[in-house]
Every structure is written in structure tokens, then in C-alpha cells.
Amino acid sequence: MVASDNLTLARIEGRYPIIGTWKGGFIVLHDGQPRAVGKSEVYHNLLPISARLIQGEPLRVVAERVNMAGRTLRGLVSRIDQSRPYYLLGEVEMPDGRP
């Protein structure tokens, strides 16, 4: 893929694994960080100049809902396999307006 970074305008070149889809584009793993690739300057970090998809191993996605009441994020992280990448998505609501 050859792309332009939406913020820095730097040229990005290389092979990056696709880890998901987002707003009509893809999420790729670039330098260990997820980056959104697509044609929207609003929703995507990288704007593609040229790209080619190469079929690889299928992505395995496992979703699990966890009740975090009375638990810490450190406790959650200690439950997962540290040798694999994980992406946490969710909301945190603090009772009584405490930070």
C-alpha cells in the first residue's frame, strides 16, 4: 500500500495486515498501531494512493462482554493471553460523578 497520512501528509509505504473494517475502509496495523485507511478525510487516518489486497489467514474475532462493576482495567488485562494482540472497545461510566 502507498498512502498519505491525513495529519502529517507523510507518504506511507509497505505491507500492513488488515485487522478490521471501518466506515467504508479498513483498519490496518501500522507500526504496531491500528490506523484507518480509506477515502474519507473525516474517518480515515491514511488516504490510499495505491493499494493491493493479498489474501492471507482469516481474521479470528472473538467478542466478549465483561461486567466491570467493582473491577479494574488492570484486572481485565491480567485475564488475557499477553502473547496475542487485543483491542478493547467500550465505555466507562463512573458512579456519582467521581473521576
pLDDT tens sequence across 37-70: 999 989 999 999 998 888 888 777 777 788 877 8
Domain count, the chain: 1
Q: Is residue 71 part of a domain?
A: no
Structural domain boundaries enclosing 28:
2-50
Q: What is this structure's pTM? A: 0.58
Report yes or no on 14 lying in a domain: yes
- Considering only CA atoms, which of 15, 43, 42, 39 is closest in space to residue 29? 15
Residue 27 · residue 18 · CB < 8 Å: yes
Q: pLDDT tens, 74-83?
A: 888 887 888 8
Q: In sequence order, what are the beta bridge partners of 46?
A: 5, 37
Domain membership flag for residue 46: yes
